Amino acid sequence: MAILFNETTSTFTLLTKQSMYQMKADKYDVLLHTYYGKKGAAYDYSYLITYADHGFSGNPYEVGDDRTYSLDVLPQEYPVYGSGDYRPTALKIRYPDGSCACELRYAGYQIKKGKYALPGLPTVYAEEDSQADTLVITLEDTRKLFFVHLYYGVLEDLDLITRSVCIENHSESPLYLEQALSTCVDFQHGDYHIHTFYGRHMKERTQQTNLIPHGIQSIGSSRGASSHQHNPFFVLTSPQATEDVGDCYGFSFLYSGDFLALGSKDQFEQTRIVMGIHPDNFCWHLEPGERFYTPEAAMAYTAQGMNALSQIYHRAYRHNLCRGKFKTARRPVLLNSWESVYMNFDGKKLIEMAKDAADLGIELFVMDDGWFGKRDLDVSGLGDWYVNENKLGCNLRELSDEIHALGMQFGIWFEPECINEDSDLYRKHSDWALKVPGKTPVRGRCQLVLDFSREDVREHILNQICQVLDSARIEYLKWDFNRSISDIYSALLPPEKQGEVAHRYILGLYDMLEKLFCRYPDLLLEGCSGGGGRFDAGMLYYTPQIWCSDNTDAIDRLSIQYGTSFGYPISTVGAHVSQCPNEQTGRITPLETRATVAMAGTFGYELDTSEIKPEEKPIIQNQIVEFKKYYDLIQDGLYYRLTSPEDLPACHGWEFVKEDKSEALLCVVALQIPPNASRCRIQLKGLDENKIYLVEGEAYPGSVLMNGGYLIPHATVEYESFRIHIVEKNRD
C-alpha cells in the first residue's frame, strides 16, 4: 500500500518509488504538513517542528495560554484565510454574515484503491486500480458550515502525487468561495530556487530561475487561458541542483484557464508553495448541499536533478494523462496549409499542394483557416461553421475524397470559441458573446469570445462542428483559440454568480472537447491557442498534441521547445518544418536543421510544396523516412537536455535514449561558427557505462561518451545540424 496511516501518531505517509509525503493531525486536530522529499523511514517527522513564542503571531483560542502554538508559523496542509496565518493561504470563504475568518479542523479520512476522478475536469488516471491509491482527508470549519475534502492520488510507479480539493456546503445558506487553490506545500528549512517559464506570443516558455525571496515570487494568468506569458508548471530546487543531481520538486496544474502559483519565504525562513485557480476572476456561489471541486495539481520529487524530474512528467503525461488512440500510436506526418497560402486558396490550389505532398511521403493534409463562411480575411466569418463551397469550388466530401485518393488523410482547422461581429451567428445571437452590458467590448484579432459557460451556445457550435465532420472523411482537427478573454460576463447568470463565469467557461470547453473525444475516437485532436497560449496539462487530457508556438523559426524553436521539455513530453509538442526565409524572423536555416528541430516533436511541414526545389525533394523524402525509423525512440525514449540554448553555446544538443540503453539519437545544432576553433564537444547522458556503442562506425564505451564526450563535426554553414545515431555493439 502506498498510503500509510499511523493511528498512534495520527500521521499519513504517502510513498512513491523515490518520494515520501507526510502530514499529521495534531492534538488540536490541525492538519500539519511534516515532510516532502526523499523516500525513507515512515517516521513521524513532526519532531522537526519548532514551537516558540513569536511576537505578533496569534494563537487559536483552544490552546489557552500557550503562546508557542500559532498557525502563523506552523507548516500546514491546507491553510485558510482568517485563521491567524498571515502568509499566502489556499482558501478564502465568505460566510452568509459577510465575514471571512475561518478555521479548519481534522474530521476523518478514507483510503481507497484506485485513482480518484473529478467531475468535468481532467485528471491523471491509472489503467488499473492496483496502480494507484487515493486518500481523502476531511476537514470541517469550526462553525460547522462546510467540509473541505483533501484528495490525494498516489501513483507509486509513476513517482507522482496528485492533489485536488472538494468544498462541500452542508449549511442552510449559500457560501462564497473567493479563493480555492488546489495545493499547498510548506518547507520548514532551506533556501529554494524557483524555475518558471515565461514568454509572449511566439516566444513561449523561456526558463527563468530566481531564489525565492523574503516575500512572494508569483506567476499566473488572468487572461482566460493558461497563456503565452506564464505556464502553469514550475520547479522548485535546492540551490545546488543541476540537470543531473539535486533535490527537485515539480508542480503542474491540470487546468487551461486562469491560474496562480507562488512561492513565499516568511520571517522564519520557511517556504510556502501554493497553486490553483487565480482568484482575480473567481468567486463561486456555493449553494446548500453543493460541492465545488478544484482542478488537479500533479507533484513530483527526485534527488537526481531536473532531467530526471522531467522524465517523470514525460512518462506520466504520455501514458496516464493523454488518452485514446493517439496517446501512443504513431501520428501521421502532416502538411499544414497556413504559412504557405494563409486564406488565399481554392480547392484547386489545395489539391495541387496535396499532390506534391503525397509524392514526398507526407501522410496527412490539413486545410487551415479560410474554408468557411465569409472568410478571406480574419475580420469576418468566425461562428459560421459551414463550408464555403463557392471558394473551394466543390463540397467538402469531394475535396476530402480527392486527397484520400492520393493516399493521404485529411484534416481541418476550427476556432470554435470565438466569433466575428461580421458573421451570421453574431447578427442572430449577439448575446452569445461575452460582453458587459452598457460597455463596448474589447476586441482581440477583430473577434469576440463566445460564452462557453452556456450549454445552448456550446450545443450550437458542437452541432456545427459535427455536421462538418460527418460530411466528409476527416481524420484530424486543429482546435485554435486566438485571443485572451476580457469582458467576462454571461447574459444568463444572475449578478451573484458572475464570478463563476471564467471557471464555468473552462468547464464548458472541457465538456465540448470530451464530447468530441467520445463521438470521434479515431479523430486526432491538436490543441492550439495562437501556438502555445494554452500549452498545459489540462488540454493534454483531450488533445494528445498541442501546437507549440506560432513561431516556426528553427533557431527560436530551440529555446521554446527546450523550455517546454521541462514539464511536457516530446510526443505532445507540435513542430513543423517551415519555409525560409522564415515568416516570423526572416532567418535562413538549412532544410536539414529545420527537420532536426521539428523531429523533437510531432513532426510535419508548413510550406508550399509546389515551390520546393527539385534538389530538396529527396531530402524531404529522406527526412520522413528517418523520422518514421526513429519514431519510437524519439517519442518513447528518455529525453535528455545536454545544453541550454539560453546560454548561447557554440552548439546546442539534446538526446533520446531507449529505456534499455541499447540505442540513442544525438541531435545537435551549431549556433556559432567561430573561426579557427576547436570542434564542439558534447557529453552524452543516459547510456550504460559498461556497454560498447557504435557511433559513425567507431566503437566507444558508454563511460567514454558520457565522461569524455563526443566531438561534433565542424559546421560548414550557419546553423548546420547533425543527427547522430548511436547503437549498442552486437545488438540483435
- Overall domain count for the chain: 3
pTM of the model: 0.97
Is residue 731 pLDDT above 80, yes or no?
A: no
- Displacement of CA 353 from its chain's centroid (Å): 33
Write the DSSP assignment of 520-538 as a string of letters. -TT-EEEE-BTTBTT-SHH
Residues 300 and 364 grouped into a single domain:
no
Determine contact, residues 53/46, Cβ cutoff 8 Å: no
Average pLDDT over residues 422-427: 98
CATH of the domain at 42: 2.70.98.60
Give residue 1's pLDDT band: very low, low, confident or very high (50, 70, 90). confident
328, part of any domain? no
Lookup: cell for 535: 500549452
Quick one: 653 and 602 in the same domain?
no
DSSP, residue by residue, 469-481: HHTS---EEEE--
pLDDT at 634: 97
Helix residue spans in 429-500 (DSSP H): 455-470
The answer to whether residue 216 sits within a structural domain is yes
Per residue in 615-645, pLDDT (tens digit) is 999 999 999 999 999 999 999 999 999 999 9
Q: Which residue has the cell 449549511?
A: 171
Strands 203-211 and 638-641, how do they pair? unpaired
Render pLDDT for 644-672 as a digit per residue (tens, 0 to 9): 998 888 999 999 999 999 999 999 999 99
Which of 639, 623, 570, 578 lies closest to 601 in space, CA to CA?
A: 570
Within a domain: residue 326?
Answer: no
The pLDDT score that the predictor gives to residue 730 is 82
Are 348 and 446 members of one domain?
A: yes
pLDDT at 107 (0 to 100): 98
**What is the average per-residue pLDDT within 588-607?**
97
Q: Is 158 helix (H, G, I), strand (E, B) or coil?
A: coil
Same domain (yes/no): 405, 292:
no
* CA dist., res. 333 & res. 328, Å (int): 15
Same domain, yes or no: 650 and 632? no
Please say whether the beta carbons of 683 and 629 come within 8 A.
no
Last residue of a domain, one of 320, 348, 383: 320
Residues 253 and 349 grouped into a single domain: no
Question: Are residues 621 and 651 both part of a single domain?
Answer: no
pLDDT of residue 649: 86
Q: Is the pLDDT of residue 732 over 70?
A: no
**pLDDT for residue 674 is more than 90:** no
385 and 239 part of one domain: no
Instruction: Write the burial class of residue 317 (CB in 10 Å: 0-12 exposed, 13-18 middle, 19+ buried).
Output: buried
The boundaries of the domain holding residue 551 are 334-636
Statement to judge: residues 615 and 668 lie in one domain: no
Cβ-based neighbour number of residue 717 at 10 Å:
12
| C-alpha gyration radius of the chain | 27
Residue range 192-243, pLDDT digits in tens: 999 999 999 999 999 999 999 999 999 999 999 999 999 999 999 999 999 9
Residue at 630 is within a domain? yes
Q: Is the per-residue pLDDT at 389 higher than 90?
A: yes
Task: Name the band, by pLDDT with cuts 50, 70 and 90, for residue 159.
Answer: very high
Q: Which residues pair with 276 in a beta bridge?
A: 181, 260
pLDDT at 4: 98
Confidence check: pLDDT of 589 > 90: yes
Rounded Cα distance between 613 and 709, Å, is: 37
Element (H, E) at 632: helix 631-636
Q: Both 592 and 668 in a single domain?
A: no
Angle between helices 455-470 and 501-519 (to 10 degrees): 30
3-state secondary structure of 53: coil
**Contacts within 8 Å (CB) and 24+ apart, 322-329:** 322/540, 322/541, 322/544, 322/571, 322/572, 323/125, 323/517, 323/541, 323/542, 323/544, 324/517, 324/521, 324/544, 325/521, 325/522, 325/524, 326/524, 326/544, 326/545, 327/544, 328/571, 328/635, 328/636
Percent of the chain, pLDDT > 90? 98
Chain-wide mean pLDDT for the chain? 97
Residue that is written with C-alpha cell 506552523 in the block: 74
Strand residue runs (E) in 627-714: 638-641, 651-657, 663-670, 681-682, 692-695, 698-701, 710-711
8 A C-beta contact, residue 655 and residue 664: yes
Check which CATH number belongs to the domain holding 659 and give it. 2.60.40.1180
pLDDT in tens, 20-66: 999 999 999 999 999 999 999 999 999 999 999 999 999 999 999 99
- 479 and 380 in one domain? yes
Last residue in a domain, options 262, 292, 320:
320
Quick check: is 327 in a domain?
A: no
> For residues 423 and 382, is the Cβ–Cβ distance under 8 A?
yes
Catalytic (active-site) positions: 536, 616
Long-range contacts of 191-194 (CB under 8 A, 24+ apart): 191/238, 191/239, 192/236, 192/237, 192/238, 192/239, 192/263, 192/271, 193/236, 193/237, 193/238, 193/239, 193/241, 194/234, 194/235, 194/236, 194/263
Grid coordinates of 632 = 519510437
**Of the residues 574, 608, 636, which one is the last residue of a structural domain?**
636
Which residue from 97, 64, 102 is spatially nearest to 83, judged by alpha carbons? 102
Average pLDDT over residues 135-161: 98
Confidence of residue 677 (pLDDT cuts 50, 70, 90): confident
If asked whether residues 569 and 618 sit together in one domain, one would say yes
| Domain assignment of residue 691, yes or no | yes
CATH number, domain containing residue 564: 3.20.20.70
CA distance 208 to 194: 8
Q: Cα(485)–Cα(226) distance, rounded to whole angstroms? A: 11
